[in-house]
C-alpha cells in the first residue's frame, strides 16, 4: 500500500504508457505489445488488468456492467486514461465463451472515473490480450 498518493499515479502512468506503446516487431506479427509482461513465446499483450482497493473499507472496488442480456459486477478494470488525480477505466468481465479460451477477460462498454484519493492500493493482474480495446 502506498502512503504517498503520487506513487499510485506513477504506477498507473507506467501501465498506461505500456498499454499505449506500439512495438514494430509485434505489429508485423499482427499483435499489439510483446513487452507487457512475461513473453517467453513472444505472446503480445495489450492490457494489464488491475483492481482498486477502497481507502475507507479496504474492500475491492467493483462496478456493474451489462453485456448483451447479461448483467454482472466486476472488480477487474483496464486503465483507459489518467488525468491529474483521477483515472478512467473500462470494466472487464470474465470471458465465458468456451470457444475463445485464450482471452481471460472481455471488454464491456461500462466506464467509470475514480479519484485516486478514494484508492488505498492497486493490484496488477497478469497481462493479457483483450480484443476490441
What global pTM score does this model have? 0.81
**Using a CB cutoff of 8 Å and minimum separation of 24, what contacts does 28-32 make?**
31/129, 32/129
User: What pLDDT score does 26 carry?
Assistant: 46
Beta bridge partner(s), residue 124: 50
Instruction: Name the H helices within the chain.
Output: 5-20, 24-28
User: What pLDDT score does 38 carry?
Assistant: 52
Closest to 55 measured CA to CA, from 100, 109, 121? 121
CA distance 59 to 18: 27
User: What pLDDT score does 80 carry?
Assistant: 97
Per-10-residue mean pLDDT for the chain, 133 residues long?
67 86 49 50 79 95 94 97 95 85 88 94 89 84
Percent helix, strand, coil in the chain, to 5, is 20, 40, 40
**Distances from the Cα of 130 to the Cα of 9, 42, 110, angstroms:** 23, 16, 15
**What is the domain partition of the chain in residue ranges?**
5-124
User: What pLDDT score does 30 carry?
Assistant: 38
Cβ atoms 65, 93 nearer than 8 A? yes
CA distance 67 to 65: 7
Amino acid at each position: 500500500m502506498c502512503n504517498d498518493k503520487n506513487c499510485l499515479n506513477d504506477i498507473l502512468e507506467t501501465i498506461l504508457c505500456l498499454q499505449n506503446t506500439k512495438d514494430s516487431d509485434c505489429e508485423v506479427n499482427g499483435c499489439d505489445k510483446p513487452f507487457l509482461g512475461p513473453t517467453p513465446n513472444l505472446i503480445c499483450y495489450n492490457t494489464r488488468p488491475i483492481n482498486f482497493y477502497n481507502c475507507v473499507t479496504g474492500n475491492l472496488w467493483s462496478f456493474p456492467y451489462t453485456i448483451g442480456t447479461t448483467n454482472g459486477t466486476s472488480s477487474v478494470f483496464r486503465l483507459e486514461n489518467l488525468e491529474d488525480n483521477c483515472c478512467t477505466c473500462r470494466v472487464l468481465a470474465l470471458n465465458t465463451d468456451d470457444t475463445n479460451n485464450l482471452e481471460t477477460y472481455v471488454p464491456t462498454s461500462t466506464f467509470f472515473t475514480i479519484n485516486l484519493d478514494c484508492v488505498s492500493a492497486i493490484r496488477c493482474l497478469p497481462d493479457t490480450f483483450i480484443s476490441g480495446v
